[in-house]
Structure 1
């Protein structure tokens, strides 16, 4: 069948995107997805018109359809800006007024006579360009990559290493020959992994995205920008491009059919998008902190899977980038040619498997349940073994190549005989010592790494140094990268002390594993809160390490820690100047209190005290769930409100006035009076004290009649004069009533009774006013109700 879905074009006229499918599509889309076809970004995400970022170019590309600019600035959708082109000497050769559509995207026209090499975008025609960008000029290659995977921006401190390895290795198995990885604000471990992949693969690019934006749903806006950049970056480089998130796997139902083979079956050039329906496989816990382990691979351990979602509900796509004009999160928004079509993929052929972490997602689970029954999904044994082997080989290679004493490539099938005779293998908290020349060895030279039980492989190191060290200090040869030094040293030392010799042990022995750490899977169900364990209190070494880490974070990044342990941060700042010794006692007491609560809940759940603790715990969970729901569906409620300012003139001097209908009187600062030459008109007889929410301040006097010009009209206004540096001029209720003013928030204008109206200023204009006119440091700005707009 064929059906038509309507999307928005650059001139705000709806144009059809043709769909081609042999299956029946649902006639009613879930309400939460309707915004997909109302524009590139859901209207609920759009902030006020005045909250736009500073106009900045992220990238610029030249193709068969002219020059396309991708902005990193939020808030310019459908606004007119000027695209300005420059030659190789940065001499301007072309200028045109264009609209930003879709969000973050500007379509510039090439000069017919000169080939531009640089581009800039300005708000006004005569503005001096501040962000001239080199244009990426690439001709269409005959040797295009066949299948490129674009990964949505990585961000945050949650463990990503294992899932990222699984993501890349899975899509490599599916035939992907190129990757575009976008990232911002990620952990050092993730950065290290990306660096390794970038150095080892010639077909993987890492694109950094800036983190500064006024968009409330920051990740969503960065994702929208990344999608446009991915499409235009790939238009001359790749035949097909998949746009997916880190936890999404587009998967053929047939085990022997890879994605690249599936794509090759579509030889109709009009088919420019393959759209896949979604299934959710639920992850009930986050990947544990610490070294990634094979046993935690999401595709291997999670199986509870939803029924396939209705058509066009949170779909994902593989597209021909050369035919796409704008890309959305869940499908193409606009093709370059109205004859191009979308192929709706039958879920019996291929689907998107979304390995979704359920925390904070309960509001959507009911909707997912409405699609049909959940079922147990398992990867085929062949695919499972391939993924494990690829991930395991990669982890071994990375870990060994990081070791300071020896560089050696290792795979799961590497044998003991292929390593040095006196090598020591270290993973987790276990040490194995072996001598391959000994006849009593349980493991011989042909024993493989897999047979040794090496599964947590990112902390596998190979040493060729005799033990114990001449200095007697085992730690002196353990590389600084290993953060489990105390556990390893304890286990290995006991083993060596039993032997009492510098020779390697005659038979392999597995040291007794110490108590589980805060990063182990057993105690990792709630991430950082796994420190609330009796095991931690009973292990001085572990407690000391965690205490040092917490003290460092509280001193250097309290905001980041507050998102995970708000109670700890709040209590710490009651005495934030405490010494480390004082913090040790404070932190131990804090853990003891939390452990005590958990033990009461576990051992005596029906007691009044347990019920009180449970009620507090449930309230916190409810608050977090409501906050996530609010951020997703009502993000405008979280926006710091930009205050209302207008431009006016007094005695020929331009002034920015703050409109405050809650203030009884209108106020002028002494600095403003001096700039406007009104000092001589201040009546000092009206000195008094002003009382308000902020406290009490002295009124220096009053200007009875001041001529204020707004647009082309003049108004007489009285002002109280005060020494307030942060408030240059305030128009209060007395002036607003006198001139019958209307604060029209729909049109974003201040309207006067005589018909005069003037627009409210944008936040960046107010920032400039506070910094330059009044010479205020940024931390003293009061543009927004809850802080600075920036």
Structure 2
């Protein structure tokens, strides 16, 4: 009897706690679903195929064979608030796209309103497929607004204006033949270059309309999108913003699936075919003379509503470099290591007829509007998806990709790559006849004649690149690509109307170039380099010859990293002698091409030629070894490390060139801040140092100003600063300092410092409310007094006076004395 009672007690307790346990498990799975559900792959619903190719079985996680079923696991308490992303009304009735997670198969009330926001229709419907509500099939309703509520008597709080869909199009609104829907942009990584390549590639494939979904983008990306949207080209672009008001919109996979449903219904009556791809995916015909548009035009069977393409991965070992986009860094041109084609229905991508689709998945149609519509599997020999996958964080994917078959090197044909490059538009700075520089949009195929029909002379950055008097074949049809112009270039154009008193047009030097040359000359003096001057008519030819010689050295440097040089003693000997001479006499020039070599050489500058010979051979062998690892095993960790180091060096050099061209003043030491003041009638030059905690007076200055008797030697201590430890001899508590016509009371620590008379530190600056005004180059006091900072020549003469050193030793460190 007791056993029965215990059993019944246990059974009742189990039944009481079972609902709570199920509720907890449902919420747990909804919160941690990304750990249990595959982020990249999904099993597609069975569809009728017209390809005779046998479907390849792939190892996928087991899932129910239905349409996007994962939301049924979500507890209702964890679902988003009902939020409408978009809504459409047209010949097939009214459809709503939710941006809320957790409502699949749940009943909600769809409520329609007229233009006066008066409710005209209400119906209980289920959310099916995911994110989609088919409110009404009555095309005659024509609502102006829509709202969705949990209960039919709830007050609508998410009312949304309807987007009207029309089957008839006007001449100005011609139906798109091929529209591209781009998966939502997000993240801070540089996207400008990939976005340009993406848009220009699909334009070449026949796309005439783009839907760009943007969840998060940088300012540079926004500028690019606005440029395309406002351009006068025949390609239309619509930018659709995605907010972050729901949990779904803050999850990449969720907002991607929602975006796909929006893309389908937004284009149902606007586009014949729609491409659904990510930013790093290119659906590419194998015959590069063919296009995706020609591929779709051949599909005359109206039942074919999806073209499904199998995938190949081309591996990217580094992300796109930040900074101005460079055409040479285009992923389609730079990266080549490509996988074997993946099995059927494994990460495929599609081109669809949106009018016949009810639900779209990341890798294929989930549900057609009628069972008669079918999928055509495109054979890999006709076209594939090339996914330019950045490999960081995807090591698990690489192992799976290797199981498909051997990787191979894929190169775009010169024809296609040149067409892509010619489509690339970018901005350059152009000045005509010394007018202010203006940003203009160009392409590599833009000609000199396009810049100005009367151009006779063109400078690019610091050199002449176009001269009509040279007779070298250059003319108005010369393209910017031929002149080596990129987005970093500054172009100076001179026309027949520009005055040239000497009669030699090559004597014309842009005002900006003269300024840059002056800066470069100052920088050269500072670093004890050879002095340079602006090119003149007599020196231009020499400058160009020197530049050509440097270009030749570039070629030699590239060829010396090869096994051929090591195997030919005569070639190696000549290269070694040349490099030894250059490192001994002009290492500062070589440092821009081979910084590692110069750095290692400077560690033992006094080595003999014999010692250098062994050192240099070892260096070449190291570089050859690196190149061979990159070529033979590009997937290895060592190769990736070498590639990343190379990319970093290239980026550093690009930034240096950009800095020298656009910000040459950054290469010159900043003039430190000094002011004139008077103490006890003695003129003193004071160094302003907001980084110093206390103000300091030298013992020599105290003696000149007759303040020796006011030094309180009880305050002797040690001061720690940039130069190490220094002894403080004492303190002057109250010192009358005259600046202009005003008097200020200042305390000073007294030290035996030779390189300065007086240092005004933070304690005095804060006490008197001082402001360092760089715009007016003055020190301003809180009482309205202001005094100018000294010029560099005044500072140098002052330092020479107090330190009694030769002039060449007068330059103090940029950091300045600081305590």
TM (normalized to structure 1)? 0.57
Q: Structure 1: how far apart are the matches of 2:64 and 2:646?
A: 36
Q: Which of 228, 235, 239 is 1:197 aligned to? A: 228
Q: Structure 2: how far apart are the matches of 1:75 and 1:516?
A: 58
Q: Which of 154, 157, 160 is 2:188 aligned to? A: 157
Relative contact order: is structure 1 or structure 2 higher (C-alpha 8 Å, sep ≥ 6)? 1
Q: Structure 2: how far apart are the matches of 1:208 and 1:537?
A: 33
Contact 1:148 1:241 in 2 (8 A): yes
Match of 2:533 in 1: 499
Q: Structure 1: how far apart are the matches of 2:691 and 2:198?
A: 41
Structure 1 residues 217-366: aligned runs within 5 Å: 218-366=251-399
Q: Structure 2: how far apart are the matches of 1:489 and 1:332?
A: 66
Deviation string 1:630-669 (CA, Å, 9 cap, x unpaired) is xxxxxxxxxxxxxxxxxxxxxxxxxxxxxxxxxxxxxxxx
Secondary structure, aligned partner of 1:459: coil
Q: CA deviation at 1:197?
A: 0.7
Contact 2:210 2:238 in 1 (8 A): yes
Secondary structure, aligned partner of 1:18: coil
Contact 2:430 2:492 in 1 (8 A): no
Match of 1:69 in 2: 96
Determine whether 1:20 maps to 2:56.
no
Contact 2:194 2:280 in 1 (8 A): yes
Match of 1:556 in 2: none
Structure 1 residues 401-412: aligned runs within 5 Å: 405-406=437-438, 410-412=442-444
Q: Structure 1: how far apart are the matches of 2:286 and 2:224?
A: 30
Q: Cα 1:29–1:404, aligned 2, differ >3 Å: closer, same or farther?
A: farther
Match of 1:450 in 2: 481
Structure 1 residues 66-105: aligned runs within 5 Å: 66-105=93-132
Determine whether 1:390 maps to 2:423.
yes
Secondary structure, aligned partner of 1:19: coil
Contact 1:147 1:260 in 2 (8 A): yes
Deviation string 1:429-478 (CA, Å, 9 cap, x unpaired) is xx334673665999777754223223xx22334346986659985599xx
Q: Structure 2: how far apart are the matches of 1:298 and 1:281?
A: 9
Q: Which of 187, 190, 193 is 2:218 aligned to? A: 187
Q: CA deviation at 1:256?
A: 2.1
Match of 1:130 in 2: 157
Q: Structure 2: how far apart are the matches of 1:122 and 1:434?
A: 68
Match of 2:725 in 1: none
Secondary structure, aligned partner of 2:417: helix
Determine whether 1:379 maps to 2:412.
yes
Match of 1:39 in 2: 67
Contact 1:55 1:71 in 2 (8 A): yes
Deviation string 1:246-297 (CA, Å, 9 cap, x unpaired) is 1111111222221111111111111111111111111111111112112211
Match of 2:81 in 1: 54
Q: Structure 2: how far apart are the matches of 1:67 and 1:580?
A: 67
Which deviates more from structure 2 when the two are superposed, residues 120-129 or residues 150-159?
120-129
Q: Structure 1: how far apart are the matches of 2:63 and 2:594?
A: 46
Q: CA deviation at 1:388?
A: 1.9
Contact 1:76 1:100 in 2 (8 A): yes
Deviation string 1:396-430 (CA, Å, 9 cap, x unpaired) is 5x7769x973465644344557555565434xxxx
Q: CA deviation at 1:185?
A: 1.1
Deviation string 1:720-756 (CA, Å, 9 cap, x unpaired) is xxxxxxxxxxxxxxxxxxxxxxxxxxxxxxxxxxxxx
Q: Which consecutive residues of structure 2, in runs of 5 or more, have no partner in the other structure? A: 1-43, 495-507, 551-588, 596-639, 667-689, 694-721, 723-819
TM (normalized to structure 2)? 0.55
Q: Which consecutive residues of structure 1, in runs of 5 or more, have no partner in the other structure? A: 1-13, 477-485, 549-578, 583-587, 589-790
Secondary structure, aligned partner of 1:61: strand
Q: Structure 2: how far apart are the matches of 1:517 and 1:58?
A: 55
Q: Structure 2: how far apart are the matches of 1:504 and 1:464?
A: 21
Contact 1:35 1:42 in 2 (8 A): no
Deviation string 1:131-171 (CA, Å, 9 cap, x unpaired) is 21111112113542111111111111111111111111111
Over the aligned positions, Cα root-mean-square deviation in angstroms equals 4.5
Contact 1:436 1:445 in 2 (8 A): no
Q: CA deviation at 1:126?
A: 1.7
Secondary structure, aligned partner of 1:194: helix
Contact 1:434 1:506 in 2 (8 A): no
Match of 1:576 in 2: none
Secondary structure, aligned partner of 2:215: strand
Contact 1:440 1:506 in 2 (8 A): no
Q: Cα 1:531–1:139, aligned 2, differ >3 Å: closer, same or farther?
A: same
Q: Structure 2: how far apart are the matches of 1:527 and 1:82?
A: 59
Deviation string 1:680-727 (CA, Å, 9 cap, x unpaired) is xxxxxxxxxxxxxxxxxxxxxxxxxxxxxxxxxxxxxxxxxxxxxxxx
Q: Cα 1:404–1:379, aligned 2, differ >3 Å: closer, same or farther?
A: same
Which deviates more from structure 2 when the two are superposed, residues 124-133 or residues 407-416?
407-416
Which deviates more from structure 2 when the two are superposed, residues 111-120 or residues 330-339?
111-120
Which deviates more from structure 2 when the two are superposed, residues 464-473 or residues 271-280?
464-473
Q: Structure 2: how far apart are the matches of 1:103 and 1:442?
A: 63
Secondary structure, aligned partner of 2:290: coil
Contact 2:321 2:651 in 1 (8 A): no
Contact 2:45 2:366 in 1 (8 A): no
Q: Structure 2: how far apart are the matches of 1:60 and 1:580?
A: 60
Deviation string 1:203-239 (CA, Å, 9 cap, x unpaired) is 1111111134324971111111110000000001001
Structure 1 residues 111-122: aligned runs within 5 Å: 114-122=141-149
Match of 1:604 in 2: none
Q: Structure 1: how far apart are the matches of 2:522 and 2:252?
A: 42
Secondary structure, aligned partner of 2:108: strand
Q: Structure 1: how far apart are the matches of 2:102 and 2:641?
A: 43
Contact 2:520 2:532 in 1 (8 A): no
Q: Cα 1:321–1:382, aligned 2, differ >3 Å: closer, same or farther?
A: same
Q: Structure 2: how far apart are the matches of 1:96 and 1:517?
A: 73
Aligned length, in residue pairs: 510
Q: CA deviation at 1:390?
A: 1.5
Q: Structure 2: how far apart are the matches of 1:266 and 1:256?
A: 18
Contact 2:132 2:261 in 1 (8 A): yes
Q: Which of 91, 101, 106 is 2:133 aligned to? A: 106
Contact 1:181 1:204 in 2 (8 A): yes
Q: Structure 1: how far apart are the matches of 2:482 and 2:692?
A: 46
